[in-house]
Amino acid sequence: MSFDLMLFGGSVLEKQAVSEILEINKITEQFGLTLTRQQALELVETRSYTLKNTGRIEFGGGVLDKIIKSFCDSPYISHYNYQAILHELVEIFYYYKNETLDQMSDDDLILTMKKHFNGKCQGSLDLLKCRELEKTARNLRNGYDPEYEEIDSPKAEEKNNAIY
Amino acid sequence: MQSIERHSKINKQRLSNEFYFQSLLQEAHNQGALSDLEIESIQMQIIKLLADSTEAYNKGLSSSVKVEVAQTIMKSNIYTISLYLKSLPEPDSALDAVKSQPLSDLYSLGRSMINTKINVARYLYHLVCKTKIQTTNASYNDTIGEEGIKGFFKDYHADYEAHETSGSIDYQLMHPITDLAGVEYIIQYLQNWHLENLFCSKFEPAILHKVMCGYHESYADLLVNIFGQALQNTLGCAMLHKEILDLNLEATDIRKIKNDLKSETKESILEILQQNAATIIKTLGITNTSLKSYIWASLPEIASSIHFAIKNDTLQKVFVPRVNLASNEIIQYIMGAKTDDESYRKIVNEVRSCRYSDDKIQIIKEQFKTLSDIEDILLDCELEESEAFIIFNMLGDVEIGVLVKRHPCHPEINAIDFSEAEIILQQYLDNYLQTMPKKRIKEIQTIGSNIAII
């Protein structure tokens, strides 16, 4: 009798996740952001695809609702790029769950992503993924504080002194 | 009158000991005792259980885990359920339990059984330590020590890795355990080991050592079973009506056994061994039923190896002659515990920063009491030769013998095999020996060759 994890399909779980996302529309519509049922389904599919690609497994509603709730008030997201950014954010999230060796909780990682996306990256997903989160992950893997700055500048030194 | 046995749909023989739950479901499904719908419901319950365990594993901080982690947790859950189901009298009762009770309940019952079994394992480990035999075999000593089975009690995670057998187990038993995992494996291993120890403790450690040296001179470094060799020699002695406790078989004795058994079949050799085993059990006063069964169960394998050895003229590998080391009694030397890294580092820095040799020696004298520390200091402190000589003078012949054995001077070996510090220490020791009278050097060399460092 096989108990392969991949056998346990997610059609029921997917439906549940889609309805959860549609529920959040009530919160996000005040920022002019909503997702249709089709778009919500596509987002859930992206999650499943990313989970498979990153070798992870998730139970329950997952983090989609947390990502949406956290990023919906970003000044860099409008209804033109809302869906595309969410897809990217989901991929980035799971990728960095692995890269940080699961040392960051879901909430902390989303908070870090949001802080950099709205701050230094000014809405650039490339900068978020390839610079800021890379740095955070490297710090964590090397046993430093996630905010530790390697750059040899007086500001970085000041910041590092404040951390330690 | 014939006993009445309950007819069972599931054949017990077909169930795996290691993967009991899976094999039970498979067998029940094949026999039609479980429908597809019921299987699906069980799978859903397993997923629910996995989701709960994963949440506990993540402490609610993360909703996802790596697939490998989830698979390990699921295997652990299934192992725990299997443990409870195995405790039920019949496979049918186990199947009834699976059908009628939620899997989460079966898991809880299994989980509490694991706690009990860990305590049983602890007790058995205590018995094994109590009956430990004196031997220089490294796999035996390492398995019983901190790095071995003791590691199991430290590293075993009953919640998420119940099926894993943590701890380093190198010592080979007469009967290897192949169909158990986790705490069940450890219990079985310790039970078998305890029985082997009980048997071996009937003999003098020095005699066992001689027998094992007869098997191989460097048996101390080999993965060998002491019980098996002792039992084989005992059987040989019993066959020749020699004193069993001496385990003494000469080359002529082995030739005699070969002549006696050369026309026998494997089955008849087994019969002969069984007769002699009964004599051994009686002579050694073995009353423990489990030990008797253990000896009995070892005989077919020994019979097979004797039969094979006679064919190939290698009987001297089954019944080994004792290698007499009367003039070379082995000394066991314990190097002693090392100082913890942080304190050691501090002291080394202090010694290195001293300007005068007297201060260095004073610190070393005060701070270090074991030879393993002294050895590290000699390697790490970059001492002058005269300073090293002062330290050597503080040591006795046995300690010097140990150091010479561990750091022999090998001018013929390429220096690349050793670190710079090691080469310097080797030279210091060599030069130090040159300052001694020849008689004392010989004594130290004899000690060095007969010492077993622990």
Q: Give residue-wise pLDDT tens across range B194-220.
A: 999 999 999 999 899 989 988 888 888
- Tally the C-alpha atoms within 13 A of residue B257's C-alpha that lie toward its C-beta: 34
Chain B residues within 8 angstroms (CB to CB) of chain A: 22-23, 25-26, 29, 39, 43, 46-47, 50-51, 54-55, 61-68, 70-71, 74, 78
pLDDT over 90 (residue B453): no
The H-or-E segment that residue B432 falls in is helix B420-434
C-alpha B128 chain-centroid distance = 11
Q: Which of B274, B306, B328 is the last residue of a domain?
A: B328
pTM passes above 0.80: no
Query: pLDDT class for B416, splitting at 50, 70, 90?
Result: low
B106 and B126: one domain? no
Chain A nearest-CA distance from B57, in A, is: 12
B69 and B122: one domain? no
Contact at CB, B64 and A57, closer than 8 angstroms: yes
User: Can you list the alpha helix ranges (DSSP code H) found in B202-356?
Assistant: 205-215, 226-239, 251-261, 266-283, 289-312, 341-353
B103 and B121: one domain? no
B37 and B106: one domain? yes
Contact at CB, B54 and A59, closer than 8 angstroms: yes
pLDDT over 60 (residue B103): yes
pLDDT over 90 (residue B365): no
B345 and B398: one domain? yes
pLDDT over 50 (residue A139): yes
Contact at CB, A59 and B50, closer than 8 angstroms: yes
Q: Which of B72, B94, B113 is the last residue of a domain?
A: B113
pLDDT over 90 (residue B110): yes
In a domain, B6, yes or no: no
**Nearest by CB to B62, which of A3, A51, A105?**
A105
B376 and B274: one domain? no
Main-chain dihedrals φ then ψ at residue B183, nearest 5 degrees: -70, -30
Contact at CB, A105 and B61, closer than 8 angstroms: yes
User: So what's the pLDDT on residue B31?
Assistant: 84
Per-residue model confidence as pLDDT tens digits over A77-103: 999 999 999 999 999 999 999 999 999
DSSP B337: P
User: So what's the pLDDT on residue A40?
Assistant: 93
Task: Count how many domains chain B has.
Answer: 4
Residue B50's closest chain A neighbor by CA? A59
Contact at CB, A56 and B23, closer than 8 angstroms: no
In a domain, B338, yes or no: yes
Distance CA B177, CA B184 (A): 10
Query: pLDDT class for B380, splitting at 50, 70, 90?
Result: confident
Contact at CB, A58 and B63, closer than 8 angstroms: yes
User: So what's the pLDDT on residue A7?
Assistant: 44
In a domain, B232, yes or no: yes
Contact at CB, A62 and B64, closer than 8 angstroms: yes
> Which residues, other chains included, contact B403 with Cβ-Cβ below 8 Å and sequence gap of 6+?
B371, B375, B378, B392, B395, B425, B429
Residues of chain B neighbouring A20 (CB-CB closer than 8 A): none
Which structural domain, as residue segments, surrounds residue B137? 114-200
B420 and B355: one domain? yes
Nearest CA-CA partner of A95 in A55, A42, A125: A55
Main-chain dihedrals φ then ψ at residue B332, nearest 5 degrees: -95, 125
Per-residue model confidence as pLDDT tens digits over A106-117: 999 999 999 999
Residues of chain A neighbouring B53 (CB-CB closer than 8 A): none
**Phi/psi zone of residue B382: left (φ > 0), alpha (ψ -120 to 50 degrees), beta?**
left
